[in-house]
């Protein structure tokens, strides 16, 4: 489905975007592929998917529907942006998952890996809880913005160096509802 400029303006409340970076159709196709990749990578054992809220909620909901094996779902909330378009570097853990990680295959589900600061802190915390394995599934990766992560094993798309909104990604808590991902600039 091709969106017109009027469609985009209606969905964004009149806010113009620079460009649609990934369409709803591209996102849904890639999420289905990621679900199949996770199914193949973890054919057995206890699999726990931990969504990093709030940004991952749409991605996580769509992703688990494409994982064709039993999974347990939990969430974490961490903050490093506030109302800014640049990470503050100060990561605050606001909600910790209640599920015991010991002995489970754990996949942290992220909307976007940007600077990597939040992810580094969370991985250290999760590793300390003795999972059988730990990996990251990110819809978007700004690989040019951070050093590599061994745990980042599942990536939907390489993201451009832009401030992106939509499909869970926000600017000051707005635009998460968009079915596409756009460059806000």
Catalytic residues: 114
Compute and round to an integer the Cα radius of gyration of the chain: 16
Look at residues 140, 139, 122, 125 and name the one whose alpha carbon lies nearest to residue 79: 122
Residue 126's contacts (CB-CB under 8 Å, 6 or more residues apart) are 50, 101, 106, 108, 134
Give CA–CA dist 47/71, Å, rounded. 5
**CA separation, residue 54 to residues 2, 96, 106, 147 (Å):** 27, 13, 19, 24
Q: How far apart are CA 74 and CA 96, in angstroms?
A: 9
């Amino acid at each position: 489905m091709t969106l017109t400029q009027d469609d985009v303006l209606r969905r964004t409340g009149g806010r113009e975007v620079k460009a649609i970076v990934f369409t709803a159709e591209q996102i849904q196709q890639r999420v289905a592929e990621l679900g199949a990749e996770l199914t193949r990578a973890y054919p057995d054992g206890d699999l726990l998917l931990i969504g990093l809220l709030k940004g991952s909620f749409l991605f996580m909901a769509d992703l688990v529907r494409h994982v064709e094996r039993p999974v347990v779902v939990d969430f974490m909330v961490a903050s490093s942006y506030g109302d800014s378009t640049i990470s503050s570097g100060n990561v605050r853990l606001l909600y910790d998952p209640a599920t015991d990680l010991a002995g489970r295959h754990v996949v942290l589900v992220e909307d976007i890996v940007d600077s990597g600061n939040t992810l580094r802190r969370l991985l250290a915390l999760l590793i300390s809880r003795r999972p059988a394995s730990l990996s990251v599934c990110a819809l978007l990766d700004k690989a040019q913005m951070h050093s590599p992560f061994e745990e980042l094993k599942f990536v939907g798309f390489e993201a451009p160096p832009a401030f992106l909104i939509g499909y869970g990604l926000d600017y000051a808590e707005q635009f998460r509802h968009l079915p596409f991902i756009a460059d806000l600039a």
